[in-house]
Copies of this chain bind each other. A is one copy, B any other.
Amino acid sequence: MDKLHEECGVFGIYDHAEPDIASVVYTALYALQHRGQESAGIAVNDDGLLTHYRNVGLVNDVFNAETLSHLPKGQMAVGHVRYCTAVEKGRSNAQPLIVNHCKGRMAIANNGCLTNGAALRREMELHGSIFHTTTDVEVIAYTIVHERLTANSIEQAIEKAMYNLEGAYTLCVMSPKKLIAARDPHGFRPLCIGQTDTGGYIFASESCALDSVGATFLRDVEPGEIVVADENGLRSITTHCGKKDTSLCVFEYVYLARPDSVVDGTSVHVARKRAGEILAQENPVEADVIIGVPDSGLDAALGYAQASGIPYGIGFLKNKYIGRTFIQPSQKQREKAVRIKLNPIADTVRGKRVVLIDDSIVRGTTCAPIIKLLRDAGATEVHMRIASPPVVCPCHYGVDTKADDLVARTHTIEEIAGMSGADTLAYLSVEGVKALAKDTKTGFCTACFTGDYPVEFNEDDNNLSKYHRKFSDNQ
């Protein structure tokens, strides 16, 4: 698919036996890099002393031998990778956020987007709160700290805060002596618990981060659950803030999560493959070969192939050296250079009727050049099959989709097929996408496909004015 941005990946570890806790977080952030490529940060808690480093860039831009050396040994740590929009680039919005308050220090990392963030911010400002950033995580931190003034413990403060927070959030909170995970009652974003081989505990956005550091998956954090790791081990709090219909973001399976992760009981790879199988049943076509757009369409393509009985083929070579720094010195060269990143393997498609599988279409700009590559390579027919329904509504819970960008919002499937040059184009049905992860323990949010938003939202929370809010102090 064309590139979508999710807001973040979070990671926390509580392990008194780990000698180099910063390097564990660093390794885990690599595994979560796909969830946020704009900034990275680590905060280490060494017996109550907190040290952190965060900056703009990929994990291996931000952390190197020198910056890692500034982080001490410790017993707890929190890490974060983040996507941020262009307007925020120079800002100090990298996480984890560290705040000092009357009862001590707190580090906090979040994935997700509040629906009442602007309202909470406005209310707290009226009571004298001073914000340094424009992020939801700061609103969440302030909400927790304000409850902390009267609460008996940090976890109780989080409990109370959750009554006020609405929308999507997935938290790793580090207090002086505790590491605490919390997931919003709808469970929009994934969060799981692991155990290290030295008996410590880990919270992570995806299970692939556990694998990367050699930890064992214990279970997912439940929607609405708070999990506390401290000297007494793990403790769960589930008695607060009522019962909600759970609504895990189904796009996590479609595109966002890594295929080797298991989210709320379902393997992402299996879900994608199953999406391909359902797609084959819903939208069969006579063809000679099934190919996927690398890398995100490959799982569904295999599922489609196995369900349809049409052979699976490797249709493209993706250049693994092309990074952010590829320079395209002239327009003419740029047009020629489509194939620098993705080159068709002509022998796979020449003289054949090809089914091309992708995970999703958002803006729809990448289909046409890819289909042209296949025709130039000799494909006689190209049938495009998309392993998710048309994206027609923006996300308000943490995925960076804007209504104006969504091609399926303003074009019919026939029009999109025409624009892309495909002989036929078909999408997975909404029923199909709901069925791709049938073993998942939660319900799904399918708002981007259906417009059924599980939580109401305030438009103010979703436009750029909150980032570029004009000064209002006139005196």
Contact = CB atoms under 8 A, between A and B. Distances in A.
A51 to B, nearest CB: 6
Interface string A125-163: 110111110100000011001101100111010000000
Interface of A: 19-20, 22-24, 26-27, 30-31, 33-34, 45, 48-54, 58-60, 63-65, 67-68, 70-71, 89-92, 97-106, 122, 125-126, 128-132, 134, 141-142, 145-146, 148-149, 152-154, 156, 175-177, 197, 208, 211-214, 258-260, 262, 267, 269-270, 273, 295, 298-299, 302, 306, 311-314, 316-317, 319-323, 325-330, 332-333, 335-340, 343-348, 468-475
A294 to B, nearest CB: 10
Given A67-B90, A214-B336, A347 B267 contact: yes
A27 B333 contact: yes
Nearest to A316: B260
Given A60-B325, A89-B70, A100 B131 contact: yes
B471 A131 contact: no
B102 A125 contact: yes
Total copies of this chain within the assembly: 4
Contacts of A330: 19-20, 23
A259 B313 CA distance: 13
B129 A130 contact: yes
Nearest to A344: B260
A302 B312 contact: yes
A213 B49 CA distance: 43
Contacts of A130: 99-101, 129-130, 141-142, 145
A314 B128 contact: no
A326 B269 CA distance: 26
Contacts of A30: 319, 321-322, 326, 340
**8 closest Cβ pairs, A-B complex:** A176-B471, A104-B473, A214-B336, A153-B475, A102-B125, A260-B317, A267-B347, A23-B329
B473 A49 contact: no
B49 A321 contact: no
B339 A314 contact: no
Contact of A176 (B149, B214, B327, B474): B474
Contacts of A471: 45, 48-50, 104-105, 175-177
A30 B92 CA distance: 23
Contacts of A177: 471, 473-474
Given A101-B131, A470-B48, A471-B45, A346 B20 contact: no
A189 B316 CA distance: 24
A389 to B, nearest CB: 23
A263 to B, nearest CB: 12
A475 B154 contact: yes
